[in-house]
Structure 1
Amino acid sequence: MYEQISHSLLNEILSELEPNIHERRQELQHFYTRLGANFYAIHNLFELLYGQRDDFKYQMTRLVETLVKKYMNRSRKLKELDLAREKDHNWFLSQQWVGMALYSAGFAGNLHNLAEKTAYFQELGVNLVHIMPILKCPVGKSDGGYAVSNFREIDDRVGSLSDLQLIADEFSKRDILLVLDVVLNHTSEEHEWAQKAMAGDKKYQDYYYIFDNREIPDMFEQSMPEVFPESSPGNFTWNEAMQKWVMTVFHDYQWDLNYSNPAVFIEMLDVILFWINQGADVIRLDAVAFLWKKMGTTCQNEREAHLLLQLMKDCCQVAAPGTLFIAEAIVAPVEIIKYFGEDAIIAKECEIAYNATLMALLWDAVATQNVKLLHQGLKSLPDKLERATWLNYVRCHDDIGLGFDDADIVAAGYEPFAHRRFLIEFYTGNYPSSFASGAPFMRNGKTGDARISGSLASLAGLEKATRTGNEQEIAAAIDKILLLHNLILSFGGIPLLYYGDEIATFNDYSYLNDPEKSGDSRWIHRPKIDWERAELRKKQGTIEYTLFTALKKMISIRKETAAFADFNNRYLVDTDNEHLFGFIRFDHHRPSERILVLSNFSTEPQFLDLQTLAHTGFGSSGQLTDLYSGKRPTIEDDKLILQPFQFYWLNEY
């Protein structure tokens, strides 16, 4: 494929576009520059995916038309932001960014009230806010907002487009990034496309995977795993109206989109750009691992799924280059890293990916009071690209999956099946001496596998300790919560807090009384914020004050510490103590300026022999100071002492 051929086609496409587009050529100068720079890659990817089709040129023309129209609809303010971010292309790798994920209904009741809570984010230090799905969904069959019935309409239960615009304006004034979801893999069965397909429209039946009989579905099922074996076994659903089978990987009311049809890709690209033009700085692409279905495979992590994401990224680089993508790919560690893309440096797919591996490993260390698996699992995690970053989190809206690699579990000295069973029993409160109050999610009767639901405060033991009134256990639970946050704030990447964790919100058991939610234990950690209780963050002596104030301080110190920016400027430290986890962060501009992060996961004081740091040179050039407390660490007989669940951010002066 010669570049001249692709650009010849581009010139032909542009000459066919409406005359009024060319009349605004001056306004489109940046667009034409970006289109020219990216079109060779766009054409190549589109041809790899769809080049065998008779309508290839027609669909290519539609793709370019979509980019032109969405660019022309982009506000001057957003175009100026694009230009500024192009000049400062590493802007998102700064240590300045700290995020929070939330449901608008749970956090504030609705979007309008959320706009009025903007000062709360600033008070804590949060400047990136991920608002969980807000698009129109059916009542009772919403999957928490991920079964979308209209991709361009906000669900009136949470607000309107004008409410979102108010949020975007407020956030922009205060330099807070807005993150929105686009559900790429499927639609609700109530979406217009699915309704037309059910009515017999062949065009829209081709938007999905629809089959006359079980022959092909049965062949798919031979290699496809079940995502929700307990509530939604199998991957296909019989549709009575069509008298056909529909692929429904997640739930029977969520129809999988067929990306082997280029019309589907163009429709969804148009949706992404629509929300980017509403002011979204970051788009979270849901379920990206499932985008391409191929018989004889698991239908996850296929090469074509990566090609689709590369194509989406290149297209957005043309129309809205200041926007970032988050890959929601909760898959094996060796697969997660691929969603940054194949380039040596620059993220060609998604600039940000969830660090599900770190999250699961942290919970393992809390339960075992041992960092062997944490250390081993992170050693096995490949380095990210230079211009990409992790989203590090302790809890999120979803369950905790124990997806670390079996080889790492064995290397840490455990038997994989037994160890996962221990963790499930521990966090669901069924293990002797467990402090956790969690619930199992999607327990698989065949394999014994399960995931874990529960709020951070409840899983860390604060709910039980508060119920019994044991002050010592309350203090230990708070220390565990801060220990976990210290790591997501210092590890390297964008830390993402989960709403309510900053004031120790417990499990919400009211979901059991709601027929629409009672079958899904994840609702136990999707709470409604009690704002009267949140006011206690201002009252000394309360749990809310202790946690909120500590997190606020931690966030403030992070933002002042250049070594916490994310430029692959971290290396693990072997502490020679199975209870102590350590790593060194360094300023990539001034490598001699380093921070030693130490975390004690034990209920007992632990010691670090400073001689074990000799090979790093850390501490040899001056005295150590803890950035968090502002004090010198306790050192006796050349051994540094950490109290139970204590952490240090040590600088050397």
Structure 2
Amino acid sequence: MYEQVSHSLLNDILIGLDPKVDCDDLKHFYIRLGANFYAIHSLFHQLYGDRRDFRLQMHKLVDVMARQYTNRPTELRQRDLAREKDHDWFLSQKLAGYTLYCQEYADSINGMHSKLDYLQELGINLVHVMPLLDGPKGRNDGGYAVRDFRKIDSKYGTLQDLDRLSADMRSRDMLLILDVVVNHTSDEHEWARKARKGNKKYQDYYYTYSDRKIPDLFEQTMPEVFPETAPGNFTWNEEMGKWVMTVFNDFQWDLNYKNPAVFIEMIDIILFWANHGADVIRLDAVAFLWKKVGSTCQNEREAHLILQLMKDCCQVTAPGALFIAEAIVAPVEIIKYFGEDAVNAKECEIAYNATFMALLWEAVATKKATLLEKGVRSLPTKLDRATWLNYIRCHDDIGLGFDDNDIREAGYDPQAHRRFLVDYYTGQYPASTATGVAFGRNEKTGDARISGSLASLAGLEAALLNQDETAIDISIKTIILLHSMIASFGGIPLLYYGDSIGTLNDNTYLTDENKHHDSRWVHRPRLNWENAEKRHIEGTVEHRIFHPIKKILAIRKQIPAFADLNNREMLTIGNPHLFAFLRFTSSGIHSRVLVVANFDTAPQTLDLKELEAVNVFGHSQVRELYSDKVLSTRHGQLVIPPLGFYWLQL
């Protein structure tokens, strides 16, 4: 959009552009900058327009974008052009993701090369390597307390090692996800060290106060993220003589985005990692980016403006790179992190579907899909050019963030039902075989979240301990059922390392002084590669889990209806144990697929008459795509096996 004020400023900026900015071909940069500059200027003005140095800060921002464009490798610039032409490439059903800790998975970045074969065997082509950046030893929140945003932690390797890994992955058509922690730094970061020494410039990079007046105002409405281990939202720093905002932990200082210098620093860092091969940037803790007295300091409008501005800047310099919003918030809020545009994602193209994840665990516990169906129906429709990451487990805990109204409509009391789920997954409920651990228990409210590996939460740990073959079979079927759901629901399935071989809880964290207070370490073990080798031995637990998941991912890639094009229709059926939805596309051999899942441990019957409204069956038999079997529908019914699923071609 042409607008005189912003483009007059752009002309001035380009005339004064840093002479060191040089490139053989700036054509695409100038085209993208011109196309995006009105939006960039408008957003920057909304956030920082009342500052006297506004024009200077705008100049610095464009200088960063230009410099990082010139630093962008030719191969990545060519990939940008290809993705601009195929702009819906990330909505394909052919993507399958995997999250891992580098050290726990492969010892080091260099060790990753030989372990990529395992991922390709499973069918993975999108790999999230958890935080690699330099951080303090000990208290670093699993890598999310960053000491240097441009340095790889030496325990993982070097920046050159990462460059070689990203090149290897590109040669295999595998995509790389890297984290940028945008909300906070370690208290050992250079900015924090200078702030402690009294440098006013860097004190303004954070929220710092000489007395409790403003912190007390914040605390009136700010919830506690970790009430058990890190109560409160401010920490007194003796050396600085000030209170500093520390929403997560006392060693993680929250960045102050009311200062444009902070925004410019962080967009420079995001583009730095895009230039080192990150296809996708996972932006950590985006819900917390803007702090305002009198609010919860989460999901503020300005946080969305910051993300929109980050996206517009990235589209100028590295348009092939995508953003993931790490925002584990209510469905009505999470949908906003895609952006407000009716067609395109203007903030983050990808977001975690935490609600679907939690609803799946609720269905496993109750053996009913009642709340699952209601909760999914309450999910707002996502934008066309956006997609979910559907997952069962991740490095974090399981929060029970269902909507209270949905819980009531499903026939439960919200508080009592959440308490039941915590008891169920921590093994306190009499009929439960789960061996999870409570996390973040709030003694004031009784609320808690849940830690634990997929296999242990699904009952495999207890079943193996008791040598109960029936229980082992039930837990394995549960694991496979859950993977079938994240593969077919709509979005990118994201597997957590170890889940495809049934990795159990690791309680050794209890003996580590830096980890024992955080139960999430129970599901962050070192991957046992001897156990992984058992995936080749028929009859082993590892084989019984790995190969069905591999098959699920392989078949998913052959079904165009599983691409994420807002092409899912939820179906209401009378049997409360069954969950059903229709996936469809405009053409192709698998243009309509009916997905049906049974969350009960007994067979359940689907009455096909209930599906007449969507004209599901016109023949006496139907092909099931996962098993490649033909099922009879002559009697108007289908029996779904215990903890089984069908992908029915219509």
- For the superposition of Structure 1 and Structure 2, which TM-score range results when normalised by the shorter chain? over 0.9
- Asked if structure 2 preserves the Cα contact closer than 8 Å seen for 1:118 and 1:170, the reply is no
Question: What do the CA deviations read for 1:171-207 (whole angstroms, capped 9, x no partner)?
Answer: 0001100000000000000000000000000000000
Residues 196-595 of structure 1 mapped to structure 2, 5 A cutoff? 196-589=194-587, 593-595=591-593
Runs of 4+, deviation exceeding 6 Å: none
Distance 1:515 1:48 in 2: 46
The alpha-carbon distance between structure 1 residues 94 and 176, as it changes in their structure 2 partners (threshold 3 A), is same
Return the alpha-carbon distance in structure 1 between the equivalents of residues 387 and 620 of structure 2. Answer: 32
Letter of the aligned partner of 1:282 in structure 2? V
- Distance in 2, matches of 1:131 and 1:99, equals 11
Where does residue 127 of structure 2 map in the other structure? 129
Question: Aligned partners of 2:598 and 2:633: how far apart in 1?
Answer: 15
SS in 1 for 2:629: coil
> Which of the residues 107, 110, 114 maps onto 1:109?
107
Distance of 2:105 and 2:5 partners within structure 1: 52
Contact 2:490–2:562 (8 Å) recurs in 1: yes
Per the alignment, residue 9 of structure 1 pairs with 9
**Following TM superposition, by how much is the alpha carbon of 1:121 offset from its aligned partner in structure 2, in angstroms?**
1.1
- 3-state SS in 1 of match to 2:557: helix
Deviation at 1:623? Answer: 2.7
SS, match of residue 246 in structure 1: strand
Q: Which whole-Å deviations, capped at 9, do the CAs of 1:55-113 have from their partners, x for residues lacking one?
A: 10000000000000000000000000000000000000000100000100111111110
Letter in 1 for 2:4: Q
Match of 2:66 in 1: 68
1:637 offset after TM fit, Å?
3.4
* Stretch of structure 1 that moved more, 543-552 or 305-314: 543-552
Secondary structure at the counterpart of residue 226 of structure 1: coil
Quote the offset at 1:166 in angstroms. 1.7
Percent of aligned pairs with the same residue?
Answer: 62
Query: Could you tell me how far apart the structure 2 residues matched to 1:519 and 1:636 are?
Result: 58
Counterpart amino acid of 1:572?
Answer: M
**Equivalent position SS for 1:166:** helix
Secondary structure class of the residue paired with 2:570? strand
Contact 1:569 1:588 in 2 (8 A): no
Tell whether the 8 Å contact from 2:560 to 2:588 is kept in structure 1 after alignment: no
Q: After the TM superposition, which residues 136-215 of structure 1 pair with which residues of structure 2 at under 5 Å, given as runs?
A: 136-215=134-213
User: C-alpha separation between the residues in 2 aligned to 1:73 and 1:63?
Assistant: 16
> Do 2:621 and 2:632's aligned partners in 1 also have CA atoms closer than 8 Å?
no
Deviations along 1:35-61, one digit per CA (max 9) or x if unpaired, are 000000000000000000001000000
Tell me by how many angstroms 1:435 deviates.
1.1
In structure 2, C-alpha distance between the alignment counterparts of 1:193 and 1:426, rounded to whole Å: 45
Q: Which residue of structure 2 aligns with residue 47 of structure 1? A: 45
C-alpha contact 1:635 1:641 (8 A) present in aligned 2: no
CA distance in 2, matches of 1:255, 1:395: 28
Question: Are the equivalent residues in 2 in contact too, given 1:567–1:588 (CA < 8 A)?
Answer: no
CA distance in 1, matches of 2:634, 2:478: 25
Shift of 1:633: 3.1
**Letter of the aligned partner of 2:293 in structure 1?**
M
Aligned length: 650
Residues 621 and 634, structure 2, Cα contact 8 Å, conserved in 1: no
Q: Structure 2: which amino acid aligns with 1:13? A: I
Corresponding residue of 2:31: 33
User: CA RMSD of the aligned region, Å?
Assistant: 1.2
Measured in 1, the distance between the counterparts of 2:540 and 2:394 equals 24
Alpha-carbon deviation of 1:604?
1.1
The answer to whether 1:633 aligns with 2:628 is no
Structure 1 CA distance for aligned equivalents of residues 51 and 18 of structure 2: 25
SS of equivalent to 1:32 = helix
Q: Which range moves more in the overlay, 604-613 or 347-356?
A: 604-613
CA distance in 2, matches of 1:630, 1:250: 49
Residues in 1 aligned to 2:225 and 2:633: alpha-carbon distance in whole angstroms: 50
Deviations 1:601-646 (A, max 9, x none): 0011100111111111011256311100011236573210012101
Indicate if the aligned counterparts of 2:328 and 2:354 stay in contact, CA closer than 8 A. yes
Question: CA shift at 1:592, angstroms?
Answer: 8.5
Give the Å deviation of 1:4.
1.4
Task: Confirm or deny: 8 A CA contact 1:289 1:300 kept in the other structure.
Answer: yes
Distance across 1 between alignment mates of 2:406 and 2:18: 58
Residue 85 of structure 2 aligns to which amino acid in structure 1? Answer: K
- Conservation of the 8 A alpha-carbon contact between 1:130 and 1:179: yes
Structure 1 unaligned residues grouped into runs of 5+: none
1:647 aligns with 2:650: no
Contact 2:590 2:649 in 1 (8 A): no
Q: What's the secondary structure of 1:633's corresponding residue?
A: strand
Task: Look up the SS of the partner of 2:47 in the other structure.
Answer: helix
Change (3 A) 1:313 1:589: farther
TM-score normalised per structure 1 = 0.98
Structure 1: how far apart are the matches of 2:204 and 2:106?
A: 40
**Partner of 2:463: helix, strand, or coil?**
helix
Deviations along 1:399-423, one digit per CA (max 9) or x if unpaired, are 0000011111011110000000000
Per-residue CA distance 1:117-157 (angstroms, 9 max, x = gap): 11111101000000000101111110010000000011111
State the Cα deviation string for residues 425-476 of structure 1 (Å, max 9, x = none). 0000000010101000011000000000000000001111111111111111
In structure 2, what is the equivalent of residue 614 of structure 1?
Answer: 612
For residues 222 and 478 of structure 1, what CA distance do their matches in structure 2 show? 47
CA distance in 2, matches of 1:629, 1:117: 29
In 1, the alpha carbon distance for the partners of 2:18 and 2:249 equals 42
Query: Contact between 2:69 and 2:317, CA under 8 Å: does it hold in 1?
Result: yes
Question: Which AA in structure 2 matches 1:406?
Answer: D
Counterpart code for 2:377: K
Q: Distance in 1 between matches of 2:518 and 2:20?
A: 52
Please name the residue that 1:88 is paired with. 86
The worse-fitting range, judged by mean Cα deviation, of 624-633 and 191-200 is 624-633
| Conserved 8 A contact 2:622-2:633 | no
Q: Provide the C-alpha distance between the structure 2 equivalents of 1:462 and 1:163, rounded to a whole number of angstroms.
A: 37
SS in structure 1 opposite 2:428?
coil
Mapped to 2, the partners of 1:115 and 1:397 lie a distance apart of: 22
Q: Give the secondary-structure state (helix, strand or coil) at the position aligned to 2:155.
A: coil
**Contact 2:560/2:590, CA 8 A, preserved across alignment:** no
TM-score by length of 2: 0.99
| DSSP-derived class of the 2:444 partner | coil
Task: Supply the distance in 1 between the matched residues of 2:410 and 2:206 (Cα, whole angstroms).
Answer: 44
Shift in CA distance, 86/448, structure 1 to aligned 2, threshold 3 Å: same
- For residue 318 of structure 1, give the secondary structure of its aligned residue in structure 2: helix
- Contact kept, 8 Å, 1:460 with 1:480, in 2: the verdict is yes
